[in-house]
């Protein structure tokens, strides 16, 4: 894997939330505005073993301007050759409709020890 156990890496990207994101609600089957805050979870994945580890998560993204977020990724349970970026419910907004926009991801760079 390119992310080695007990090594640290830096990774940044820009996050945003659209104020208007209309879609069909599966709950009501009516059009709804999916604009509740969300968070970003960054998972390390070992494709061969299917092992996963949550490496980082953002604070709630409730703003509609592009904002840079920088994360330190330090795998503790194994080596990973893939990361998955997952939008997830922000605390207090579980099961609410939200959206998360991602742009300008940096390279993942090892932090020299």
Assign 85 a pLDDT band (cuts: 50, 70, 90): very high
Q: How many Cβ atoms are within 10 Å of 55's Cβ, its own excluded?
A: 22
- Gyration radius from the chain CA atoms: 16
Residue 113 has pLDDT above 90, yes or no: no
- Predicted local distance difference test score (pLDDT) of residue 27: 85
The ranges assigned to domains in the chain are 9-107
Question: What is the DSSP annotation of 4-70?
Answer: -TT--EEEEEEEE--S--EEE-TTTSSEEE--B-EEEEEEEE-TTT--EEEEEEPPPB--SS-EEEE
Residue 80 has pLDDT above 80, yes or no: yes
């Amino acid at each position: 894997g390119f992310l080695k156990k007990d090594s640290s890496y830096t990774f940044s990207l820009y996050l945003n939330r659209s104020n208007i994101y209309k879609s069909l609600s599966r709950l009501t089957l009516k059009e709804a505005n999916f604009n509740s805050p969300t968070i970003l979870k960054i998972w390390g994945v070992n494709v061969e073993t299917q092992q996963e580890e949550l490496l980082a998560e953002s604070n709630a993204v409730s703003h509609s301007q592009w904002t840079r977020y920088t994360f330190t990724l330090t795998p503790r349970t194994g080596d990973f050759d893939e990361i998955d970026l997952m939008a997830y419910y922000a605390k207090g907004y579980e099961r609410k409709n939200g959206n998360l926009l991602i742009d300008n991801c940096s390279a993942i760079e090892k932090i020299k020890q």
